[in-house]
Amino acid sequence: MFSRPADYLVYLVFRLIAWILLQLPLPWTFRLGQAFGLFGYVALAKYRKLASANLQIAFPEWTKKQLRKNGRDHFQTVTANLLCSFVLMQKPWDEASSYIDISALLAQASKIKAASGVIWVINHIGNWEHGSRTPCGR
C-alpha cells in the first residue's frame, strides 16, 4: 500500500504533466500521445499480443499485416485521446467544443429533450467524459 506522501507525489506528478500538456497546442498534445502510444505498442509485448488476439477474434478475415497496423493505430489513438482529455477537460466548453464533433448528437437533440429518460451508449475510445458537457447532456 502507498503511503500518504507517495500518493501525494503521484498526484503532484499528474498535475505537473497536466500543466505541461495545457501549455502545448492541442494538435501537439495529440501527436505526443501518438508517439507515447507507439512506444507503448513496441515496449508492451504482452498487451500488443492481447490486442492482436482480440482483433483476430473480431476480424478473422484480416491479414497479419492488417492486425498489426490496427493494433498499433489503437495504441496510438487511445494514448493520444487520453492526453487530449487532460487538456480538453480543463478548457471551457466553448473552446473545447471546437475540437469535438457532436453533430450526430445535436441532430437527435429534440428527441433527447422530449424523452422522459435517456440511456447514453458511448464508446470508450475517445473523450467520452465530454458527453455531460454537451448541450444535450446538461
Write the CA distances from 33 to 87, 114, 132, integer angstroms: 12, 39, 24
Grid coordinates of 124: 470508450
Grid coordinates of 14: 499528474
Whole-model pTM? 0.73
Q: Do 26 and 95 touch, CB atoms closer than 8 A?
A: no
The residues spanned by each domain of the chain are 4-90, 101-138
In the block, which residue shows the cell 502510444?
A: 37
- pLDDT tens per residue across all 138 residues of the chain: 568 888 999 999 989 998 999 999 999 999 999 999 999 999 999 999 999 999 999 999 999 999 999 999 999 998 998 898 888 888 887 888 788 777 887 888 888 888 888 777 766 655 666 666 666 554
Q: Compute how many other C-beta atoms are within 10 angstroms of the C-beta atom of residue 16.
A: 10
Task: Please give the single-letter amino acid code of residue 100.
Answer: I
46: left (phi over 0), alpha (psi -120 to 50) or beta: alpha
Task: Please give the single-letter amino acid code of residue 68.
Answer: R
